[in-house]
Amino acid sequence: MRIKLERWLNQVWYGQQQAPLWLRSLVPLYRVGFLTDRALKQRTASELAGKPILVVGNLTVGGSGKTPLVIRLCRVLQGAGMTVGVASRGYGRSSHGLQRVRANSDPALVGDEPLLIAQRAAVAVIVANDRCAAAKALFDEGVDVVIADDGLQHHRLPRSMEICVLDGSREFGNGLQLPAGPLREPMQRLQQVDHVVVNGALEPSSTLPHAVTMQLVPGLLHSLDQNLSWRLSQFSGCRANAVAGIANPERFFRSLEQAGLILKRHSWPDHHAYGQEDFAALNPDYPIIMTEKDAVKCRGLALRNAWYLAVDAHLPGDFELAVVKGMMKAVKSGRQGG
């Protein structure tokens, strides 16, 4: 049921299917709820006032490339001598309250994306429904900067800098707000953020000429047990089961096909919780190739001949420098204020 609903909504939001009248009639209700929530939480958390917080988020529902961007920003800020922590909600986790994420944490308890960030960026990661509580815990541990993952609409959270991420192939979909479209907020919100980062190339008709382009560059294929690594080009001409439980699997499938692989595609909803039954119908003679986010949830399934593709975010140097300078200024200001 969930898979069918997600596919139908994607057709309405990003495809050629028009949003039905009953769905569009719900938009004002969503808008009232959103504005009420923002008004109730307009007052930021006083204990975090003046703290150096970098918010990374998006205007649309679903993935846009936030996780690889957060990983890259962690490394950039670490390279500039800052200690970084990441605060996240941990979408889809089964646990409650505040949880510290470690490299060997159970993804069901902490969420797939926070676990991937902890593994790839080697920074302190804390998940909590209240991002303010997560940020406070990180500052109490002594970090210099907190990156708030998916925190753009977390209104109580103060911020030194906002970065909005967009999927270049999808942008704003049909341009409607939830639930008739993918927008969490009106597009005018982009005028208030510090930076707009576009994952992939923009459409020629785009109205975002000043956005920064981020490219996700494929790296090595790693076996799920992490004992072997191969270049993607070494799989050229091979048939493979391609598995993706992400918001926009087309980008992943396309990168494999561009490398010469012949795919049997298998897609599930974003943040899908995998079980053995999901792989029962796959051709056992073909390798299984999945995204790195899927891999953190599949390592305990004892899959045979299973691999994941690592990707890295590449950003313009002047953009990274601007982020470093902005957060260094915020750190200095926070220390003087404290």
- Mean pLDDT across 147-171: 92
- Mean pLDDT across 17-41: 89
Reference 293, options 128, 100, 66, 126; nearest CA is 66
Reference 306, options 250, 266, 251, 260; nearest CA is 266
Give the tens place of pLDDT for each residue, 212-222.
Answer: 999 999 999 99
Give the tens place of pLDDT for each residue, 127-153.
Answer: 999 999 999 999 999 999 999 999 999
Calculate the CA 229 to chain-centre distance.
Answer: 25
> Is 220 in contact with 310 (CB distance < 8 Å)?
yes
d(CA 48, CA 34): 23
The single-letter code of the amino acid at 243 is V
Give the tens place of pLDDT for each residue, 261-307.
Answer: 999 999 998 889 999 999 999 999 999 999 999 999 999 899 999 99
pLDDT > 70: percent of the chain? 95
Model confidence at 206, pLDDT cuts 50, 70, 90, reads low
Cα-based torsion angle of the residue sequence 207, 19, 249, 275 in order, rounded to the nearest 10 degrees = 150
Residue 166: its pLDDT value, please? 92
**What is the phi-psi region of residue 99: left when phi exceeds 0, alpha when psi lies from -120 to 50, beta otherwise?**
beta
Write the CB contacts of 268 (distance below 8 Å, at least 6 apart in sequence): 3, 243, 244, 245, 274, 278
Query: Is pLDDT larger for residue 21 or for residue 4?
Result: 21
> Is 143 in contact with 122 (CB distance < 8 Å)?
no
Q: What is the pTM of this model?
A: 0.93
